[in-house]
Chains A and B, each alone.
Chain A
Amino acid sequence: MNFLIVGIGGIAGSLTRFSLGNFINKKFKSLFPLGTFIINITGALLLGILSSSHISRSFYILLCDGFLGAYTTFSSFMYEDFKLFKLNYKLHACTYVIMTTLIGLAFYALGTTITYYAGF
Chain B
Amino acid sequence: MKKYIYIGIGGFLGAILRFTLENTKISNFTLIPINTLLINLTGAFILAFVTTAAIYTSVVSSNIKLGICAGFAGAYTTFSTLCKETVSLINSNHILLAVCYIAISLILGLAFAYLGEFTSIKLASKLNLNYSVDLNKLEDTNCKNKGNSI
Q: Which residues of A are in contact with B by a Cβ distance under 8 Å? A: 2-3, 6-15, 17-18, 21, 25, 29-33, 35-36, 40, 43-44, 46-48, 51, 61, 64-66, 68-85, 87, 92, 97, 100-101, 104-105, 107-109, 112
B18 x A15 contact (CB < 8 A): no
Chain B residues whose CB sits within 8 angstroms of the CB of A83 once the complex forms: 141-143
Within 8 A of A (CB), among B1-50: 4, 7-16, 18-20, 22, 40, 43-44, 46-48
Chain B residues whose CB sits within 8 angstroms of the CB of A12 once the complex forms: 11
B19 x A2 contact (CB < 8 A): yes
A33 x B143 contact (CB < 8 A): yes
Chain B binding surface SS class = helix
Chain A residues whose CB sits within 8 angstroms of the CB of B126 once the complex forms: none
B79 x A43 contact (CB < 8 A): yes
B79 x A40 contact (CB < 8 A): yes
**CB-CB nearest in chain A for B108:** A78
A90 vs chain B, min Cβ distance (A): 12
- Does B73 reach chain A (CB closer than 8 Å)? yes
Alpha-carbon gap, A14 to B102, bound state (A): 24
Question: What 0/1 pattern do residues 71 to 100 of B give for CB contact below 8 A with A?
Answer: 101111111111110110000000000000
**CB-CB nearest in chain A for B105:** A74
B71 vs chain A, min Cβ distance (A): 5
Alpha-carbon gap, A17 to B77, bound state (A): 13
A15 x B109 contact (CB < 8 A): no
Q: A15-B7, A72-B81 are in contact. List 8 more A-B contacts (CB 8 A).
A: A12-B11, A31-B149, A44-B79, A74-B40, A74-B77, A75-B43, A97-B110, A104-B80
Q: A44-B83, A79-B113, A82-B114 in contact; A10/B143 too (CB < 8 A)?
A: no
Chain B residues whose CB sits within 8 angstroms of the CB of A44 once the complex forms: 79-80, 83-84
Alpha-carbon gap, A21 to B12, bound state (A): 18
Chain B residues whose CB sits within 8 angstroms of the CB of A100 once the complex forms: 79
